[in-house]
Each structure stands twice: as C-alpha cells, then as structure tokens.
Amino acid sequence: MSRTDDVINGIKQLILRGELRPGQRLPVESELAATLEVSRGSLREGVRALSILGVLNTRQGDGTYVTSLDVSKLLAPLGFLVDLQGEGQAEQVHAIRRLLECESARLAAPRITGEALDEADALLDEAQLILDTKPEEHERIIEIDIAFHRLIADHSGNTLLAGMIEALAGRTVRERLWRSLREDGADRRAHEEHLAIWRALRSGDADAARVRMANHLIGVEEAVRRLADERPEAADHSNATTSAS
C-alpha cells in the first residue's frame, strides 16, 4: 500500500474507534502526521482523497473537519462509477435497482408510518391529477415517481440500502423519461402499479409489497429493452456501424 493509503486507512480507523467524530475538527497537520507516521505531503494527499469521498471537508482558513458521514453522500461515488460504465449498462443498472427496491419495499411494509403513507398518497393523487388533466407533464410524473420510491427506501429501516437506491435513482431517469415519452400509456400503467405498491404497504404485507414492486420494476426493465433500439443514439450507432462495414 502507498503512504496515501496509510493515511486513508489511519483516519478511517480513528473514526471507527470514535477518536474522530462527525463534525469534529482534525488535529493540526503536524500532530496528525506524527500520529499516522506519515509525511505531511502524504497526509495532504490522503485528506484530499477523503474529501473527494465525502468523508472530510476542508474549510479555507479553518481546518479540516469530519463530515456528517451521511450515507447518501458517501455513496454518491457509486453513481459516478455507474456513469463510467456507459449507456450500454442501462439494463444492468435497472436490474440492480430492482433487487434493491424489492428488498426496500419488503422491509418498509411493517415499518412505514401513517404519516409517510399519507405523504405517498398525496404524491399519487398529484400524479392522478396530472394524468387526467395535463398528461404531457412527463418530467413532473418522473419527479413524483422518484419521490415515491425514495419515501419507501427511507422507511426500510436500512440507511445503507436507502443510500444505494438514492445513488442509483438518478442513473435511471433518462430511460424512464424516454419510456414516458415514447410508450403510450406508460405513465398510467406505472401509476396503477404504484397504487398497488401503496396498498400493500398500507396493509403491512411485506411479501405483497415486494411482489408488487418487482412487478412494477420488471415492467420498466422490459420497456427499456423494447425502446433501446428506438433511441436516437442507438440509431446513430447503427448507421455508423453500417457505414464502417
């Protein structure tokens, strides 16, 4: 391992042992370098790396602090990793999303509060209104969709799971919006599926919530596959391949 890795692991251990807590200022550079037995240069590199990961936050003129260690922020690089895989990985991302969100729905069913169910119900009421009066507002429908799924994840009782779902959520928006625009009745079908999920959650039926979520997300995955060849970039790629052959 490099000396930078030593710094990263050393600071991680200090956090795990409770010697550094969320919001706490790190010791002065010379003291921390001595504690970790590294040079100041290696310390600075390690601090920069941990800042990128959202573990530390350097404030100009005020020192470096441990962040709140919010799970969703710490998992943000996961979304970046997914982005690096390219557009061709959309199906795989949706498959991972299904695994995570089905478990999220199962866990949330016995835990979700009446207040959260009311909030979800209000989101679905808004979606119904849009579908009945302003069906062209696809982007707002997608925003409601994301909020509905986030609410379920937040009540799963598993902050790591919720953070992973949040990290992936934005990576599926493009395909979901494309489906909304291109597939007749897609928004209304998704809405009916959301209602079925909501009813399962309201009844506290964990198995039903998981199955309803699976049914909903499998439909999304199937639509992504059906519509893949219709997207402009797919057509451009096909034309380029034909020209090159």
The whole model's pTM is what? 0.75
Number of domains in the chain: 2
Distance (Å, rounded) from C-alpha 128 to C-alpha 140?
A: 12
Do 117 and 164 lie in one domain? The reply is yes
How buried is 184 (Cβ within 10 angstroms: 0-12 exposed, 13-18 middle, 19+ buried)? exposed
Confidence grade of residue 186 (pLDDT, cut at 50, 70, 90): confident
The pLDDT of residue 231? 57
Do 169 and 206 lie in one domain? The reply is yes
Q: Is the Cβ–Cβ distance between 71 and 160 less than 8 Å? A: yes
Do 136 and 224 lie in one domain? The reply is yes
- Is pLDDT above 50 for 239? no
Do 31 and 137 lie in one domain? The reply is no
How many other C-beta atoms lie within 10 A of the C-beta of residue 170? 13
- Is pLDDT above 90 for 193? yes
φ, ψ at 58 (rounded to 5°): -95, 125
- Report the CATH number that the domain containing residue 37 is assigned in CATH: 1.10.10.10
For 218-230, write each residue's pLDDT tens digit: 988 887 777 666 6
The pLDDT of residue 235? 43
Q: Report the chain's mean pLDDT, rounded to a whole number.
A: 86
For 133-159, write each residue's pLDDT tens digit: 988 888 899 999 999 999 999 999 999
For 49-84, write each residue's pLDDT tens digit: 999 889 999 998 889 999 999 887 788 777 777 766
- Amino acid making up residue 142: I
- Report the CATH number that the domain containing residue 97 is assigned in CATH: 1.20.120.530
State what percent of residues in the chain have pLDDT above 70: 87
**Is 96 among the domain residues?**
yes
**Is 171 among the domain residues?**
yes
Do 108 and 218 lie in one domain? The reply is yes
Q: Which domain, by its residues, includes 22?
A: 3-66
